[in-house]
Amino acid sequence: MFRRLAVLLAFCALLAVPLPSASAQSKPLRLENCEIPIGAQGATKQAAQCGVLSVPEDYSAPNGRQIEIHFAVLPARNAAVRREPIFHFEGGPGASAIEYYGLAWYSAYADLNEVHDIVLIDQRGTGKSASLQCTEIADLSFEDLKYDLDVKAEIAENIERVQACLARLSQTNDPRHYTTANLARDTDAVRAALGYDKINLFGSSYGSWLAQFYLRDFGERVHAAVLEGTVGPWDRPFLLANLHADVSLRRLFDTCAADAECKRAFPDLEQKLEQAVKRLRTAVRVSGTSSLTGRSYPVVINATRFLAAIRSMLYQGSLIGSVPQAIAQAANGNYTLPAAVLIAAAEQPISYGMNLSVVCAESVPFYTADLLAAIPDSTYFSALPNDTYSELCAAWRSAELDESEIAPVSSNVPTLFLAGDFDPITPTAFALTARARFPNSVLARFPYQGHTILPNSLCAQRLVRAFYANPSQLDTSCTGQDVPFAFADAQRLTYENLTTPTFRARIPASWSFIDERNGMYFFRSPDSIPEFLGIATYRLAGGAPLQRAAFEAISARYERLFEQARISQLGVTIVQYTFNTDQEVYLGGLITFGFGTQSRAVWYAAPANRFTARFGSLAVEVFGSVIPR
């Protein structure tokens, strides 16, 4: 995925013929049992086998300084029918594949892991692999939110930090060798050391760029590739980011206008956006809450930060439906949503030095005055500069490449492109362009997805499984059933009183009773792809016993729940899960509260594109109405 600094991927072909991968390490490869934390708090663990491989930092000097590449293998659960492994290429550049697997991808790979080993590599410069993390920047992420700085001021503030980071890292690493070409070499060295002949690739965002250049240099090793959020240096994603965000936001405005409830709730979104930006010419100090930890942080909201937050919300299908609400609230002086988005950005673990090493070698040097002058003004995001890297790159040391080294890649390897029509940074147009260079490819377009698709779409997960099994035949028609997102604060529900042997509560009037499991009563909405509600009371004081009782009731009805995040405040605990039904990927939220020996629990679940928009109003309304009998 594109992370906080947005992303560009390219390659540096230092040698005309790649070095043999097996020469990277002469020692036997050892794998040890390990566990990968799952969810924001790592409440559960997934068993894996972890290893370390030594490779040259500079492949043109194979006997020079060596660096250690850390990786993890999740063995296929059904070894009897094991197929080609899947190498997961994470976004960034600068994100740890191992860490982000536990934060974002674990549920998306659950079924794939049945017959495929999943290989996660902390690419050089990330995670534990010779990290180029600039703590001088990362450690001040929350502190910076306290001050009234626009994008240009933030860049100026970070130039000295970048210089200090470079001086520190240069004692042990040479950032010039942290290029995408070398990441591809490292990947093939891991492949060879593990003894795989043919592999599958899955690349998301920056990972799709790395995947393309792995295909260029090592395509004979690839059985099939899936690219999500496809991008290449020729796409100029940084310079066009504001224009692509314009397209995404315009599409959202049109979608809202075509939805009767959204149009009624937000009839003048463009005007509200203008009002919000005008209002924030004078910065406002607010308090924002982390969606991962529940902690509050002071945040100064100004016009550029507000627009950056809106652009970030367009990345995720689960947040797109909340953009009209965020705009309307900001026009009235309420900045809760953008503050939470800015805090979430500050929480993202990314190696800034690695990000700069790639972008400053493979993107910024190819900006020309004519190219910069040719970029049209943005309609909605004109307050955000098109070029946010050049000044930082002037303070960083990176590889020097020529234009031939960032030329578009072509491949005959079977390739599936996944594209979200709301993606504001790697739009569908990029995938269409790439597909013309990949004659043996298929494009699956998702009308209501943003930048990240696989974790949010059951259709995408099924397509990927089918494609890896048989790339020659693929029916993509399920994309037509992509779940439209719900618009927060737009739907008006009416409620009716409900009495059971154990509690009284109010539930949506049109929802029907399904069944009772372990003391929890379950209901569903009348939709073809329904939302679900569960209510229970227990004679427990709260804490772990209450959480366990509620979870056992929910898991008796919904299988393979993966915990994403847990927040506890003033005796109330909210736990978010992800799980699949036979229809779609769902997110679920469990709210529990214990007082004395009377505890209550409310469970709400909806398709990923709808959950965030509905949870705050529906689940909280029901939770506040529950009275034990």
**What is the per-residue pLDDT for 616?**
86
Least reliable range by pLDDT among 90-99, 282-291, 426-435, 603-612? 282-291
Contact 567, 40 (CB under 8 A): no
**What is the per-residue pLDDT for 23?**
41
Share of the chain above pLDDT 70, in %: 96
Rounded CA separation 403/371 (Å): 15
Rounded CA separation 219/51 (Å): 24
In degrees rounded to 5, what are phi and psi of residue 139?
-70, -15
* Cα first-last separation, the chain: 48
**Is 380's pLDDT higher than 70?**
yes
Contact 222, 200 (CB under 8 A): yes
pLDDT band, residue 74 (cuts 50/70/90): very high
Mean pLDDT of the residues in the chain? 92
Question: Tokens for 227?
Answer: 């690219």
**Residue of 93, 167, 181, 100 lying closest to 136 (CA atoms):** 167
**What is the per-residue pLDDT for 558?**
93
Q: Which residue has the tokens 């597909």?
A: 435
In degrees rounded to 5, what are phi and psi of residue 622?
-70, -45
Could you read off the pLDDT of 1-24 as tens digits, one per residue?
443 333 222 222 222 223 333 344
Rounded CA separation 163/580 (Å): 46
- In the 8-state DSSP scheme, what is residue 78? -
Angle subtended by helix axes 303-313 and 241-258, to nearest 10: 70
**Residue of 449, 461, 457 lying closest to 421 (CA atoms):** 449
Task: Quote the radius of gyration of the chain (alpha carbons, Å).
Answer: 24
Query: Which H or E run includes 370?
Result: helix 369-373
Rounded CA separation 64/61 (Å): 5
Rounded CA separation 106/454 (Å): 11
Question: Tokens for 265?
Answer: 């709730």
Torsional sign, CA 126, 128, 132, 134 = positive
Query: Which H or E run includes 89?
Result: strand 86-89
**What is the per-residue pLDDT for 19?**
30
Mean per-residue pLDDT, 139-167: 90
**What is the per-residue pLDDT for 155?**
85
**What is the per-residue pLDDT for 28?**
67
**What is the per-residue pLDDT for 29?**
87
**What is the per-residue pLDDT for 78?**
96
**Is 77's pLDDT higher than 60?**
yes
Rounded CA separation 249/381 (Å): 10
**Residue of 553, 535, 557 lying closest to 622 (CA atoms):** 535
Spatial CB neighbours of 621, under 8 Å, sequence gap ≥ 6 = 493, 495, 506
- In the 8-state DSSP scheme, what is residue 137? H
pTM: 0.93
Question: Tokens for 534?
Answer: 């569960």
| Neighbour tally for 604: CB within 10 Å | 23
Could you read off the pLDDT of 240-274 as tens digits, one per residue?
999 999 999 999 999 999 999 999 999 999 999 99
**What is the per-residue pLDDT for 149?**
82
SS3 571: coil
**Is 317's pLDDT higher than 60?**
yes
**What is the per-residue pLDDT for 27?**
58
> Domains, the chain, ranges and CATH?
32-236+401-472 (3.40.50.1820), 248-347 (no CATH), 495-628 (3.40.1000.10)
Could you read off the pLDDT of 324-353 as tens digits, one per residue?
999 999 999 999 999 999 999 888 889 999
User: Can you give the three-state secondary structure of 525-555, one letter per residue?
Assistant: CCCCCCCEEEEEEECCCCHHHHHHHHHHHHH
